[in-house]
Structure 1
Amino acid sequence: MPAKPVLIKKAPSKKAVPKKAAPAPAPETKPAPAPAPEPIPEEPVPAEATPAPAEAAPAEAAPTTDAAPPAEGEAAPAPPAEAAAAPAAEDVTAPAAPEAPADAAAAGPAAEDATAEVPAEAPAAEAPAAEAPPAEAPPAEAPPAEEPKPPTPPPPAVPTSEPLNLTLEDVNDSSITIKWRPPETIGDSGLDGYTVDYCKDQTTDWVVVNEKLTEANRMVINDLTKGDSLHIRVVAVNAGGCSPPAVLPEPVKVTEIVARPKIRMPRSLRSRIVKQTGEQINLVIPFNGKPKPLVTWTKDGEPLDTKSINVRNSDKDSILFIRTTERDHSGKYEMSVKVESFEDKASIIIQVVELPGPPHQHEACYTVQKSDRKTGEWFTALEHYHRLSATISDLIMGNSYIFRVFAENKCGRGNESAVTKAVATVQKTGIVYKPPEYQEHDFSEAPKFTAPLSDRAATVGYTTKLLCAVRGSPRPKIEWMKNQMIIGDDPKFRQISNLGVCSLEIRKPCSFDGGIYTCRARNSHGEATVACKLEVKQVILPVADKGKK
C-alpha cells in the first residue's frame, strides 16, 4: 500500500541538553488501516532544505517495519532503532546523546503519526526493540572481615609423680646424705627440680634444705645436731606444682656410723639347702657392722618358733641351729642386720624331704638298672626317668637279664626297689657274615723315567753327580753304563737308588771320565733307559800364574 505523503517542517536548531540515556520504547508494527480516500498532495519539501541538526540524537521511535520505501522527492525515513542505539552501546560510560527538540522530531511528522497510531495492544515481538546499554553497576561492597578467634589455651600442667627409691647413703655426726631416682611419670611440662625438707622426730616443723631447686638426685644435708632423729622427704616440682613427697620410712639418727652392716653369705648357702628329715642344721653366717648391729630372723615373713629353731648372735656372726629337722622346717629364712638407719638382708631356702618308698603306680622320678645273669652285676640303664615304661637297649644276644627300678627325688634315691619277676633272654638269630668281595687293583707297571738325565760339564778333580727318577712295579733294577759299558762295582763311581730317585756320583773325575752315561731300569714288564753327556774340562791357568808356580 503506498505510503501517505507528509509535510516536513524545518525546526529551529537547539543545543541539546545532556541527559542520561533512557531506554527507547520498543517499536511496534502498525496494523493495516482501512482504505481511505486519497488526500490532496502537498508540495514536498526538499530533503536538503530540512537537514537534521548535527547535535540532535537519532529519533527515539523507529518507523514501522511494514512502511513502504519513500516516494520520489520525499524525505528519507529515520534509521532503525537498532542502528540508533549502536553508538551508545560502544561506550557504556559515555554521556547519553542529547534529546531532539520537543517541537521538531528528527524523523519528521511521519514518525510522530506512526507512533501515535500504533495501538498499545500490538505485540512487541513483531519488531525488535533497541536495548539500551546497561548502566554501570556500582562496585560490590566487600564482606566484613571476621574477627580472629582467640587461641585455644593449652591444657593445664600436671604435677609429676613422687620421686622413687629414696634411700639413705651416708650419715655422720653433722650430716646426712640421701639419694633417689626420678619420678616414674613426669608429664609434658618437664621437671624443674627437687626440694628436700626435714623435721625432727615427733614434730611437724619442716625445714627446707635447698632454697633453689636442685636437678641432682643426691643431697647432702649439713649442719645437723648430733643425736637428733630426723624425718626426711623429697618433692619433685614442675609447672603443674609439687608432687607427692617421697619420705624415708624411718627417722635417721645423726650419729657416726663406724662400719655399715653387711652380711657375708657363704657361697654354699646361696643355693637351696636340702636336708632329710631327722638331720641336723647348723648354719653360721658372718656379718660386719659397728656399733653392734641388731640381728633378726624370720621364716616366711613370720618370727621364728624358738621351741624348735635356735638362734645365737655375736658381734661377728649369727648361727641358725635345728637339732632334728622335720618337714615343717622347710621355708624361706630371712636374716636382717641393722645399724641405726642402715640395714642389710639375706635369705636362705631350706627344704626338708623324706626318702620315697618303693614305686607303686604313682608318678615319680626313677632309676632303672639291669643285671646280666652271667655276671650278676648291676648297671644303671636309665637315670632321672619320669615315665612308667622304658625300653632297654645295648643287650647281648643270648644272655639273660633282670631289671629293677628305684624311685628318687631331690633328696636322693630310695633304699628299696622293685625287681622284675621274669627273666628276659635275648634270643640269638642266625646271622652269617659274608665279607664283601673286592677286586684287587693291578699296580704292575713297566719302568718309566719321570725325570731324565741332563747333560753336565764337570771340572777335573771336582766330584760331580748325575740324577734321574724312575717308577715301575715291581720295583725295577737299576744299572748305570758308560759308553754302553756297564760300570759295575768300580770304586770311582757310587750308585744310589732310593724311592725311585737314582744317582751316580763320580769322584774326582779326570779328562778320561767324560763320555755318554746311561741309566737303565728293568723289571718283569719291560725296561727303560735315559742318557746324558758328561764333559770333563781341564782348568787352564794364565802364563803369569804358571811363572809364579
Structure 2
Amino acid sequence: MTSIPVNVKVLDRPGPPDGLLKVKVVSAEKCNLHWNPPLNDGGATVTHYIIEKRETSRVTWTGVEPHIEAVSYKVSKLVPGKEYIFRIAGVNKFGVGEFLESEPFIAQNPFTTPSAPSTPIASEGCFYYFRVLAVNEFGTGLPAETPEAVKVSEAPLPPGKITLSDVTCNSAKLSWEKPDHDGGSKITGYIVEMQAEGEDTWIKYSESKAQEMAVNGLTQGKEYFFRVSAVNEKGRSEPKSLLTPVMVKDTRAEPVINLLTNTFSVKAGNDLKIDVSFMGVPPPTAVWKKEGNALKETSRVNVTTSHSTSQIIIKDATRIDVGAYENQYKVTSVEEGLIYEFRVYAENMAVTNVTNTSVSLSWDKPKYDGGAKITGYIVERKELPDSCWLKCNFTNLLDTFLEVTGLTEGEEYDFRVIAKNAADLFSAPSETTGPITVQHDVEPPKIILDDQFRQVVVVKAGELLRIDADISGRPNPTVFWLKNGRNTGTKGRVEIMATTTHTSLLIRECVRKDSGQYTLTLQNTVGTTSKVAILVERKKKKKHHITVNLNDQLVLTLFLTPF
C-alpha cells in the first residue's frame, strides 16, 4: 500500500495584522498608528487595510480610512480628552479579515495642565436656563438670565450600515440606516460624499433628508469611494464609509423568483396565503395572472407587493379559485415584451479537471424544471477580474458536463451554467465555480479498493470474478490490470472497464488457471498499485451411484480434507 501526501491550500480572508497595533500620541487631536502585515494572507495578496475607531463610552465603530495600503497612518480630528480604541483589518479579494484592536488611550497632549473644577452634570436632550451674578466686596448682585432655554445635545453618531442597491454605467444608488444615537437632537439630514480612486480629496455630492440617494454623473470604468454623515442642529457626525469601492459599470440582472413549490392546496372555506420573494437589477415589476389573464383583485383576493416580495391572499377559498396562477416579473430597462417567469437553477457545479489550456466542468440537473422538460444548457465563462460573461458552447448542450478548451495558460476564469426548458425559458445562472487558474493541475493517482480484495479471495470454478476500484488523479491516469506481472489482456472471458473515476476487471466462468496475483496500476506522473490474490476451487466431481446386491461385501474408503 502506498501512502500519498496531499497538500491543501485554503483560500480565505486574511488573518489579523501581526503583533500589536501601536498608538503614538502626537497631540490632543492627532496620533500615529503602526502595525505589521498579517502572517496569514488567506492565500491572496492583502491589497489594503481598513481603519476604524470608537470611543470607549460608545459601542459603535466608525470608519477612519477605508483604503490604506501602507502599514502606518496619521489620525487627526480627535476630540481632546476622549478615550479611544482603534482597530485594523486587512482586505484581500476574498473579503475583510479579522480586526486587531489597540489598547485604550486618551487623546491628550503629552504634557498636561491642572484639571478644571468639576462642572454641573447636564442630562442630554433636556432644556436648561443659565444666569450670571456679579460679586464684589459688598455682596452678590442681581442675576442676569438667558432669555431662552438651552438644549443639551451634541453631534449625532455616524449613520448605520451603508448598502449599495444599484449600479449602472454612470450612477450608483446608496441607502443607509439611521444613527444609533441622534446626539439628543433630531436628525435634520445626511451628507453624501464621494472620492474617485487615486484622489485624496472627498467631494460633497449632495444632502438628503431621506435615507437613500442616487449618485449620478459618474464615469464608467472608474472606482469610487462613498461615505455618509448625519447632521443635527449641533453639527455633523463623523462619516460612515462604504467598506469597498464601487466600480461604475452596468450590473443589470434578470429577474429571479424564489418559490419552494408551485402547487398549493387549501380546504374550501379556509384562507390561502402565498409569499414569493424575487430580485433583479433594476428592481422588476410584479404581475399576477390566473389562467393566462391578469388577476383581478376583489374583496377576497388581495395582492401586496414590495421591492423584493409579492404576496397573494385568497380569503374563504372556493372551487372557482382553482387554477394555474402565474407571477411574472418584468425589468423595464430590458427589451420590451421580454417576460421572465419561474426560474430554474442548474446545481452543484464542479471542476473535474484542469490543464494548461482547458477546464472540465460538471453539474446536476435542476430540482425544478419550471413545468417543462429541460432541453439543454449554456455554459458561460468570465476572465477575471473585469471581463464580461461569454458563451462557451454555441450548440445545444444536452449533457451535464463540458470541457472548455482554448483558454489562456496562467489566467483566472470563473464559470457558470444556465438551464433551458421546453418552454424556451432560461434559468438564472447557477452559482459560479469561483476563480480557476488555467494550469496543469497535477494530483498523484489514488486507488480506493474494498477491503475484501486486499486478502486472499476464493471464487468457485465457473463463477464470475469482478474486482471494482474507485480511482482518481490529475491528469487522468492510465489504467493497467496485470496478472502475475503480465498484462491480463481483454480477450475471451476477460473484460476491463475504466472511466475517469472507476475501473473494473471481469473474468467470466473462472477456472483454476485464473488463480494468481492481480495488480491494478494507475499511472500519470506517480504510480500506485494494489495487489489482490485470487484462489479458484476445483470443480466438484460428479456423483456416482453404486448398486450392492444382498449378501455382497462393500468396502468404502473416505478421504477427509480440512477446511
- Which is helix-richer, 1 or 2? 1
TM-score band w.r.t. shorter chain: under 0.3
The two structures have a TM-score, normalised by structure 2, of 0.24
- Which is strand-richer, 1 or 2? 2
The two structures have a TM-score, normalised by structure 1, of 0.24
